Amino acid sequence: MILESFKPSFPTEIIEEGRVKVLVPELKAFVKLPSDYAPSKAPVFYNPVMELNRDLAVLALQAHQRKVEREISVCEPLTGCGLRGIRFAVEVDGVGKTVLSDINGQAFRLASYNVQMNGLSKRITVRMKEANFVLSGHSAPRMRFDFIDIDPFGSPVPFLDSAVRALRDGGLIALTATDMASLCGVHPRACLRKYGGNPLRTEYCHELAARLIAGCLTTVAAKHDLGVSVVFTHRGEHYSRVYATVKYGAKNADESMGNMGFILHCFKCFHRETKKGLYEVELLKECRECGSRLRVAGPLWLGKLSDTGFCDMMEQESRKRRLRFGAKIAKTLNLIKSESSAPFTYFVVDNLCDALNLPVPPLKVVIEALRKEGFQASSTHFSSRGVRSDVSAFALKEMLRGLAKTTPSDAGE
């Protein structure tokens, strides 16, 4: 399709991101009220806030390509203006066949124009099709993709079945979920309906959200005899993002299902514990610390949320590039890598101190005190005030009481 004379029917502007230039909706033209969310008001979806998300996607895809050491194929079936898919084709070495698609006619035309503007017409195919239709059309052997990026406005669940069937053995899938109200326990019925697991409104609800997404992917993949390995997970301000590879075979699917289980939480004393398994599992009803009723999150993923080696490869790729958020990416990857083998869940120091009516000590003081006592302790990218540790809630509260007597508060850290 020749698009030199393409003239969109809405205000647009050219932006630069990474190593590409694309035409996008001029978002300020679609804001009439202070409460308006411009990306959803525009006729074609484009969210500048997700640049960091797209940067990390580029690094993750390059890490995956380095791992498989061959040319890879890519599909982004919810492409919007095409920015993400175009960045993959331009910035990731070894990307061959790339398919972008959007059911929105204006998005299709805008993405097609952007592909042409970047000189990628021979490498990228743009379609105007529903996402599941595109993915299902690539479910046959030798037609499947090495990487599928599902980045919807809302939940990725409606696309999981067709996505896993369109992945080749060893392929990588990335899932973004922006329906955090359901995943974080504000709308638990919606979460149970969509993701098949119960959420909880705990201080570590964002970790639970990632585990619910990974758990849903695991159970869907297992139906098709596919095993799942989560290689990278990160949290944004309004979303959770999970990357996982799939491995063919019923045995691999069974092994993945072995990472499913439950997290039990006491809202009175902050005690939490995990229970792996889905079959003949007995869950405690009373907290072993205070005797109060335990609440249950899950079933969800209880395996690792990130792979250290994969994070190392992403770090190496990041150092080679000049990205706008390079410093933030380096800090985020370092945090994620440090907590990849840390205990499940995390404690938010401020919440514990509020419950105990104590001043809030600096987080680094709490971490140092825990390590001095022989406990594991690390920060978490899920919360700037969170600490991962194998300490019990009871012991941590006693430690905070002791620190309150000797350490100045630092609630604003």
What confidence score (pLDDT) does residue 64 get?
98
Instruction: Determine the pLDDT at residue 413.
Output: 45
* 8 Å CB contact between 370 and 399: yes
The letter for the amino acid at 20 is V
Please tell me whether residues 227 and 373 are part of one structural domain. no
In a domain, 16, yes or no: no
User: Rounded to 5 degrees, what are φ and ψ at 12?
Assistant: -135, 170
Strands of 260-265's sheet in order across: 272-276, 260-265, 295-301
List the domain range (segments joined by +) for residue 54: 44-301
For 115-140, the three-class secondary structure string (H helix, E strand, C coil) is HHHCCCCCCEEEECCCHHHHHHCCCC
pLDDT tens per residue, range 206-225: 999 999 999 999 999 999 99
The confidence score (pLDDT) of residue 2 equals: 46
Residues in the chain: 413
This prediction's pTM: 0.95
What is the number of other CB atoms lying within 10 angstroms of the CB of residue 269?
17
Q: End-to-end CA distance of the chain: give it in Å, rounded.
A: 55
Question: Is residue 286 located within the same domain as residue 371?
Answer: no
Torsion angle, alpha carbons of 182, 184, 185, 190, to 10:
20
Which residue did the predictor score with more confidence, 119 or 9?
119
Residue 412 has pLDDT above 60, yes or no: no
Helix, strand and coil in the chain, % to nearest 5: 40, 25, 35
Task: Report yes or no: 335 and 349 within 8 Å, Cβ to Cβ.
Answer: no
214 shares a domain with 151: yes
The confidence band for 39, taking pLDDT boundaries of 50, 70 and 90, is: confident
Tell me: the pLDDT tens digits for 249-267? 999 999 999 999 999 999 9
Give the per-residue pLDDT at 5: 64
pLDDT single digits (tens) 378-407? 999 999 999 999 999 999 999 999 998 887
Residue 10 lies in a domain: no
Are 397 and 287 found together in one domain?
Answer: no
At 385, is the secondary structure helix, strand, or coil? Answer: strand
The pLDDT tens digits of the residues spanning 348-367 come to: 999 999 999 999 999 999 99
User: Are residue 295 and residue 351 in the same domain, yes or no?
Assistant: no
Edge to edge, the sheet with strand 124-127 lists: 124-127, 95-101, 72-76, 145-150, 167-177, 240-248, 226-235
Place of tokens 């970047």: 118
Number of domains the chain contains: 2
Q: Which of 270, 301, 332 is the last residue of a domain?
A: 301
- Taking a C-beta distance cutoff of 8 angstroms, is the pair 340, 355 a contact? no
Distance CA 133, CA 127 (A): 11
Check: CB of residue 268 under 8 Å from CB of residue 292.
Answer: yes
**For the segment 290-338, what is each residue's pLDDT rounded down to a tens digit?**
999 999 999 999 999 999 999 999 999 999 998 999 999 999 999 999 9
pLDDT at 98: 98
Q: Are residues 262 and 397 in the same domain?
A: no
